[in-house]
Amino acid sequence: MFRTAIAGSLPKPHWLAETEKLWPEWRHEGPALAQAKDDATLLWIKAQEDAGLDVIGDGEQSRQHFVHGFLEQVEGIDFKNKVKMGIRNNRYDAMVPQVVAPLKLKGRVHAREAQLARAHTKKLLKFTLPGPMTIVDTVADRFYNDRVKMAMAFAELLNQEALALEADGVDIIQFDEPAFNVYMQEAADWGVKALERAAQGLRCKKAVHICYGYGIQANIDWKQTLGHEWRQYEQVFPALQKSSIDQVSLECFHSHVPMDLIRLLDGKEVMVGVIDVASDVVETPEQVADTIGKALQFVRKDRLIACTNCGLAPMSREVAIAKLQALAQGAALADQKLR
């Protein structure tokens, strides 16, 4: 009854990249690196299937970071001269590449891992891409001098890759937009429009993931400042409800998001975050089933997908595997209890 999926990223094995880091260095170069990425992708497909998940992803094993992995294949970006920039409204500093010329795709971005994943799972395959607004917030602009114009330029490129991924056999394309929770007014004003441009013409399911970030210290500290009720979703959900996006992924477990905000997504499929990515403590199936039960007050059973709050990239492999199992077991328990 309840489908299960992960938000997107999974930890990279030690033989592929540095572990428990958000921007890890690769352990290899050239063909050896490509092979290690393939191996890690297959390993995580197997781990997700073994855990019993319904929707499978590539675990983002082929990209160093969820935004920069895409940008590496974009012409008009200077990757050699990264600059330090405060991102997510200056929540933390990152070394980011610079946009220096008109943007154009150099070619396919994720063909290899998408086709590999498609060849190795018969389950629903989800593929993630960064959303236009989040890209704009994770790159230095030396060319457009206009966030909206640059977001629309990125949205066109994302759309090209998304259409190609659909042709590769991907069932769900998800755009990650953590920036929607930071620039709420802008998200409602133009972020959703840029998102729809990125998803234009897709016949597969179109999803968006909006979270409070990875479980890194800067995010944990930021959450402490958000008060006892986190109402960021309230501003952007109405725009999403009117949009052509099919699925919305949100953070629920161990967050201060009032669950009734799910009501604002009437008619959409909701990926309910039932797994905390900011804690190594593994959820019990009872806790997962409990969160599903709470969300069910506001979304129809057949529209609820149990999911992780965010990506698991910076966690240890052991904890991530245990959390995938808890997710599947908790959904099965909810299925029994709430049938």
Confirm or reject binding of residue 210 to Zn ion (CB under 5 A). no
Alpha helices in the chain (DSSP H): 30-51, 68-71, 111-120, 132-136, 147-167, 184-186, 192-198, 217-224, 233-241, 285-295, 317-338
Cβ atoms of 131 and 198 within 8 Å: the answer is yes
Q: Return the closest-CA partner of residue 214 out of 7, 5, 4, 37.
A: 7
Q: CB 59 → Zn ion: shortest distance, Å?
A: 14
Confirm or reject binding of residue 45 to Zn ion (CB under 5 A). no
Nearer to Zn ion, 109 or 310 (CB): 310
Confirm or reject binding of residue 310 to Zn ion (CB under 5 A). yes
Confirm or reject binding of residue 10 to Zn ion (CB under 5 A). no
d(CA 60, CA 11): 9
Figure out which of the listed residues 211, 262, 270, 324 binds Zn ion, where binding follows CB under 5 A. Answer: 211
d(CA 126, CA 184): 26
Which residues lie below 8 Å from residue 35, measured CB to CB, with a gap of 6+? none
d(CA 94, CA 328): 34
Q: CB 7 → Zn ion: shortest distance, Å?
A: 5
Residue the block writes with tokens 């725009």: 239
Q: CB 217 → Zn ion: shortest distance, Å?
A: 16
Nearer to Zn ion, 56 or 67 (CB): 67
Q: CB 142 → Zn ion: shortest distance, Å?
A: 27
From the list 87-95, 144-152, 157-165, 308-316, the region that binds Zn ion by CB under 5 A is 308-316
Nearer to Zn ion, 98 or 174 (CB): 174
Confirm or reject binding of residue 182 to Zn ion (CB under 5 A). no
Confirm or reject binding of residue 312 to Zn ion (CB under 5 A). no
Nearer to Zn ion, 128 or 235 (CB): 128
From the list 102-110, 152-160, 204-212, 321-329, the region that binds Zn ion by CB under 5 A is 204-212
Q: Dihedrals φ, ψ of 26, to 5°?
A: -70, 155
Q: CB 215 → Zn ion: shortest distance, Å?
A: 10
Using CB under 5 A as the binding criterion, the count of chain residues that bind Zn ion stands at: 2
Q: Is 124 left (phi over 0), alpha (psi -120 to 50) or beta?
A: beta
Give ∠ CA 295-178-53 in degrees, rounded to 5. 50
Residues at the contact surface with Zn ion, assessed by CB under 5 A: 211, 310
